[in-house]
Amino acid sequence: MTYGLEVRCSIQLSYRRIDKKTLNIKSGREDLNLRHHGPKPCALPGCATPRFNLWQPLMKGRHVLSRIFILLIFLVLCSCSNEKHIKDTFFLMNTVIEVDLEGISESKWEKIKRDFTKNTDKFDWHKKGGKSAEWDSLSIIARNFEKLTQGCFNTRIRPLVKLWTQAREKNDLPSKDAIRLALSNHDEEDFGGIAKGYLTDKLYFDIIKAGVKKGYINSGGHIRVIGNQKPGIEGWEIGIRHPDRKDEIFENIKISSNQAIATSGDYERFFMFNGKRYCHILDPKTGYPPVHSVRSVTVVAEDLTTADALATGLFVAGLEGAKDWFYNLPMKLDVYWIYEKEGKLKSEHWSRN
């Protein structure tokens, strides 16, 4: 989808004559001088102190009001010129990140982007042994989703992921013994199924703190929206991609302001072996890619960490397996399934409110 946002700042000025004697243009700037109006003597009997009328100079020198008005307009114009509509695309987390933000200066965005890139580059997605506070935090979150999904989402499968990566590079399948050995090793974690959502949420909160009221972050198809897409209309319209046709939308859905959406499917990263498709998502219980009719699962949640983790867990479980635990989840969710039935693609919508 393409969103076109336009910000216009237009102010029309209308004022009376400015006294040329008090307006001097020197070195390209206005030298504003307030002409002195002497106080009149006090008219009360016996009063020796001059009385100063605050409004009298302003009434006689109306050009002063004009100057003050011009100064205020200048400040407004400066403010409008600093707050921009930012569109940016950069590569991070092994994916293309696109941002479209309204109401933020370029300097503010560049600082946010610079800090985010620095912190993300330091994050170890596959750490073993020594831990950091960030790593511990994400590991705790992952353990929670592992329980909620009855083990369908599990980050402690790094040896299994490496095994299948090597097999895909050789266009071969790993042996059953190698898979069994990899499943028994829980010392290494792979945050590939949650880190993108987790880190994008951190970027989202940095952007919100900067005062952005409208826009979106798209991290390789994982999206976090800000505000509303159109004035006066709640939410955003998002298109779910067709599993077999890259440039075609299979279904349009509506999400609320500030929500997140993530999709897991078998169509982006896979390899074929003996005429069978093997996707990159692995079932932590069997050690193999899931075998079912589901082609993609799209999750709408209140944050992208949740959407990312549950999209992975639901895809592993499949339509039938997910029924065992989905309706016990404690958070608000909308799930959109695309699956094959009798040679055709079908869709199904589940909701937790």
pTM: 0.75
Do 314 and 297 form a contact (C-beta atoms < 8 A)?
A: yes
Q: Which residues of 10-39 are buried (b: 16+ CB within 10 A; e: fewer)?
A: eeeeeeeeeeeeeeeeeeeeeeeeeeeeee
Q: Is residue 137 domain-shared with residue 204, that is, in the same domain? A: yes
Does residue 50 have a pLDDT over 50? no
Q: Is residue 44 domain-shared with residue 117, that is, in the same domain? A: no
- pLDDT grade, residue 292 (50/70/90)? very high
Residues 222-251, mean pLDDT to the nearest whole number: 94
Q: Is residue 73 domain-shared with residue 151, that is, in the same domain? A: no
- Higher pLDDT: 61 or 340? It is 340
Q: Is residue 67 domain-shared with residue 90, that is, in the same domain? A: no
Whole-angstrom distance, CA of residue 253 vs CA of residue 224: 14
Does residue 311 have a pLDDT over 90? yes
Please return the burial class of 126, using the count of CB atoms within 10 Å of its CB with bins 0-12, 13-18 and 19+. middle
Strands 214-219 and 95-104: antiparallel
- Inside any domain, residue 15: no
Q: Give the count of alpha carbons within 13 A of 199, CB side only.
A: 28
- Higher pLDDT: 17 or 263? It is 263
Print the domain residue range for 70.
20-82
Does residue 49 have a pLDDT over 50? no
Range in 31-40, 57-66, 199-208 the model is least confident about: 31-40
- E-state strands within 82-172: 84-92, 95-104
Q: Is residue 75 domain-shared with residue 93, that is, in the same domain? A: no
Percent of the chain at pLDDT > 70 equals: 74
**Cα 296 from chain centre:** 22
How many domains does the chain fold into?
2
Does residue 224 have a pLDDT over 80? yes
Please return the burial class of 189, using the count of CB atoms within 10 Å of its CB with bins 0-12, 13-18 and 19+. buried
pLDDT per position as a tens digit, 100-134: 999 999 999 999 999 999 888 777 665 554 567 77
Q: What secondary structure letter does DSSP report for 333?
A: E
Does residue 319 have a pLDDT over 90? yes
- Higher pLDDT: 128 or 17? It is 128
In this prediction, residue 84 carries a pLDDT of 84
SS3 154: coil
Q: Is residue 204 domain-shared with residue 293, that is, in the same domain? A: yes
Q: For the chain, give the mean pLDDT.
A: 80
In this prediction, residue 270 carries a pLDDT of 75
Residue 253's H or E segment, with its range, is: strand 249-255
Q: Is residue 174 domain-shared with residue 317, that is, in the same domain? A: yes
- Inside any domain, residue 3: no
Q: Is residue 257 domain-shared with residue 139, that is, in the same domain? A: yes
Domain end call among 82, 105, 123: 82
Percent of the chain at pLDDT > 90 equals: 59
Name the amino acid, one letter, at 239: G
In this prediction, residue 82 carries a pLDDT of 55
Domain end call among 63, 82, 101: 82
In this prediction, residue 18 carries a pLDDT of 37
Range in 8-12, 265-269, 299-303, 341-345 the model is least confident about: 8-12
